[in-house]
C-alpha cells in the first residue's frame, strides 16, 4: 500500500506545480516584470509550503 501513497503524493505535487505555472502565465500577461517577479516568488514559496504539508499528511 506504500506505493499508492507515493502515487497520490506525486499527483498532488504535479497538480500544485501546474497551478503555479498557470498563475505565473496569467500574471505574465497582465503585469510588469517587477510585479511578475514578486508574484512568482510568492507563488513558489506558497507551493513549497503546500507540498510540504501534503508530504507530511502522506506519512
For the chain, which residues make up each domain, given as ranges? 18-58
Is the CB of residue 38 less than 8 Å from the CB of residue 23?
Answer: no
Is the CB of residue 17 less than 8 Å from the CB of residue 44?
Answer: no
Q: Say yes or no to pLDDT of 43 above 70.
A: yes
In angstroms, the CA 45 to CA 49 distance is: 6
Average pLDDT over residues 7-19: 80
Alpha carbon distance, N-terminus to C-terminus of the chain: 12
In the predicted model, what is the mean pLDDT of the chain? 77
Average pLDDT over residues 16-21: 81
Q: What is the DSSP letter of 55?
A: H
pTM above 0.85, yes or no: no
Amino acid at each position: 500500500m506504500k506505493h499508492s501513497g507515493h502515487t497520490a503524493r506525486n499527483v498532488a505535487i504535479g497538480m500544485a506545480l501546474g497551478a503555479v505555472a498557470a498563475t505565473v502565465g496569467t500574471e505574465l500577461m497582465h503585469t510588469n516584470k517587477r510585479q511578475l517577479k514578486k508574484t512568482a516568488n510568492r507563488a513558489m514559496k506558497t507551493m513549497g509550503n503546500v507540498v510540504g504539508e501534503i508530504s507530511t499528511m502522506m506519512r
